[in-house]
Chain A
Amino acid sequence: MITEAALAADIAAAHAAREPLLVQGHGTKRAMLRPVQAARTLSTRGLSGITLYEPTELVISARAGTPIPEIEAALAEKGQQIIAEPPDPRAIFGGDLPATLGGITAANLSGPRRIAWGAMRDHVLGIRAIKGDGEIFRSGGRVLKNVTGLDLCKLLAGSHGTLGVLTEITFKVLPAPEATATLAVTVPDIATGVRAMSAALGSPFGVSGAAMVGQRALLRLEDFADSVTYRSARLREILAPYGDVALTDDAALWRDIRDGVALAAAADDAVWRISAAPSAAPAIAAALPGAKLLFDWGGGLVWVAGPATSEMHQAVITAAGLGSYTLFRAPDALRAAVHVIPPEPAPLAAIGARVKAVLDPAGILNPGRLRA
């Protein structure tokens, strides 16, 4: 075990020495984004444990190094779950240890339920964190509605440890559903699949997952059992024009979509995630002939696997168009050489540099992780 105070003192010392740090929990996503040039590793893995759980208030707090499965198990005991359904990075990156809460929050990673219920970041209610000069700060709190002061929770969620080291995260949870059902529509092409998913997501039936694997568009319902029965029947009517509809109840299916397993990437493939308007998905697919593709979030998230080359990377950037992209997994040489996420317009980059200087004045936290 380590303490937050000890971690803060360590960061303060690194700040004074201008010593760059690789910030990580279990290091599950080390091969994501750009390689970090650091003098040493700063790990939050010793900072572990659930610190507060109030099921009737839908709130849980845990230290950053707490493994996600430990949190899932505690929630399951009270019939609740993590809303954003975060992926298990081991499927894409390998390794033995599961992701930590700090890592999943810092990467803002969300699974299929994101399209209906929001991202990991949407449910963060409060954080404790350490600035790059060792100063501890809090933002938000433990209540569901809070607009007091600037929302630094949102800023740090998704900053990949470059703006501060998360030490404790408080987030909203929801009851786990009583029943789940999946409707699978066999569609002739991607465009039809995306239209089917749009029709389902635009229905009043609370679809909580909309993905496409191969020729099948998959629509998930989660609710009380009688609701799921009723809604499955109604949704089936809506989906009928798009192809043959079958009812399945395969939990492994959604886990494979969540984790990117359904992408079936080869061991030496690079992996990208493109976020775009769902209706752009067919054009994205057309622009990436030969690539392996997996569609989630109604088509708004496109997982791509293909050769780990700068040509392929450029093709992904072109295909993403107005959307956003992340080079999710690649060999170091490629990750170091390209924009792994879209560059920002100059005025925003200037603001970003000033905000970074406020939170990490010596630039020691994960230097180069997001941008060169």
Chain B
Amino acid sequence: MIRLPDPKPDVMARRPQIIAGLARLLPADALITEETRMKPYETDGLPAYRQMPLAVALPRTTEEVAAVLRYCHENGVRVIPRGAGTSLSGGALPLADAVVVGLMRMNRILDVNYDDRFAVVQAGVTNIGITKAVEADGFFYAPDPSSQLACMIGGNVMMNSGGAHCLKYGVTANNLLGVKFVTIEGEVIDIGGTHVDAAGYDWLGLITGSEGQLGMVTEVTVRILRSPEGARAMLAAFDSIPVAGAAVDAIIGSGIIPVALEFMDRPCIHACEAFAHAGYPLDAEAMLIIEVEGSLAEQDALLARIRDICAKFNPISMKLAESAEQSLAIWKGRKGAFGAVGRISPDYLCMDGTIPTGELAHVLTRITELSQQYGLGVANVFHAGDGNLHPLIMFDANDPESFARAEQFGADILRLCVEVGGCLTGEHGVGIEKRDLMPVQFTPGELRLQRNIKSAFDPAWLLNPAKVFPLEDNPVLAA
């Protein structure tokens, strides 16, 4: 289990005054202090960790967010920013002495501009909500994390969320034009705008993916794109993982950038097939889902090229969707992968390391060995084009020993990712989950540098403390 810092005794002792102070800043329904009503906020997408906060604030305006942050700054109270609470790394886990500031009531779309191709939305608008608002006019918002029905754009900005289509469209950072940023002192700053590449330091790029360490975001200006004429998927199954990996290399090497290129191993294929009956080949060791975009003729041409490439690797089977419906069927199993694994194991941990794709066969072999060593099942699904792995480690949460083993197994996988030239997290963030592994990837000097940059924004370490950076050698948190 990962250690949380001790609550500040003086803050705990002042709880009634702090609640009274916040109550003066917010409408009555925007402050929650009863334990029963705070219950939904005690955890996020990493439910193994739970902690009741001091209070929960649910502001409706930027001014209310600024007022709460200013109050917390003046009174030494820690703040936990929260979007929909879908973080898989525990990024929104509360602390006992902290106020959760939830953005879910800031859910309005403020402006949509098709000529300049942007939308201005409040931070609590869901990811899918942006696309829903513009799809009737033929547009979409590109990053599509698998939690997109629930997760909010403010959280996406803070975690620099990815998705299955990053290979072509990039991650959140590549699809932003501006944010309304609130500092811990309660200052409201417009960063970026409706133009690209403002001169000066790229604060937008630094804030994106900062996991709530630097400030909060209340409005976001995103780029919206015209939807492609159509998209279609194909499936290719192989009798070994290295062969599937070589097929991926050959596709990319041929000059084709598929809009998505997903990989599943045998345990994952079986779990998904049992769940979704998508017609996946159960005799395969590895399967690729490859999606292309364009007109029907363009889709045909690209799928034919990819089919010819895959054919050189002795596939067990290949299936080209002939319609949008068949395409959905191919995706159905993949999209339900996490739920499918949830059916065969009471609990699972979803890891998120990235590796150079050339290391794929080596890494998956090592993961299989580790699975045997720890006596825990693992199913692998990942974004093959960009090397972002999602091993799902199966365990039983009712058995603390099983959970401890799962955490160690996961840590070993992430160490392996770094060892082969990759990183700890491709899209889920460090949060609480991977905090203590940061020294595996960064030197003490590099961690000190990042901590000092956080201190430049948040000198007292009130914003989402105890996440991202290990507690050891932390001059502020340890004091």
Contacts and interface: CB of A to CB of B under 8 A. Distances in A.
B198 to A, nearest CB: 4
A152 B195 CA distance: 22
Given A141-B421, A145-B427, A278 B201 contact: no
Interface stretch (B11-19, B159-167, B274-282, B393-401): B159-167
B185 A347 contact: yes
A203 B227 CA distance: 8
A155 B201 contact: yes
A98 interface: no
A319 interface: no
Nearest to B163: A145
Given A145-B386, A178-B255, A345-B189, A150 B201 contact: no
A112 interface: no
B441 to A, nearest CB: 6
A110 B426 contact: no
A224 B115 CA distance: 27
9 contacts: A118-B170, A121-B202, A149-B438, A154-B204, A163-B201, A178-B255, A230-B298, A323-B198, A347-B183
A182 interface: no
Given A121-B205, A143-B423, A358-B449, A151 B457 contact: no
Interface residues of B, number: 96
A149 B454 CA distance: 11
Interface stretch (B53-61, B334-342, B353-361): B353-361
A281 B138 CA distance: 25
A122 B115 contact: no
B381 interface: no
A212 B42 CA distance: 55
Contact of B249 (A56, A115, A141, A202): A56
A108 B202 contact: yes
Interface residues of A, number: 79
Interface stretch (A21-29, A130-138, A246-254, A256-264): A130-138
Nearest to A275: B195
Contact of A154 (B173, B383, B434, B456): B173
A147 B213 contact: no
A155 B204 CA distance: 9
A227 B229 CA distance: 13
Interface in B363-413: 383, 385-388
B301 interface: yes
A227 B210 CA distance: 39
B243 to A, nearest CB: 15
Contacts of B385: 144
B107 interface: no
Nearest to B114: A202
A278 B387 contact: no
A279 B453 CA distance: 36
A279 B115 CA distance: 7
Contacts of B138: 204
Contacts of B442: 138, 149
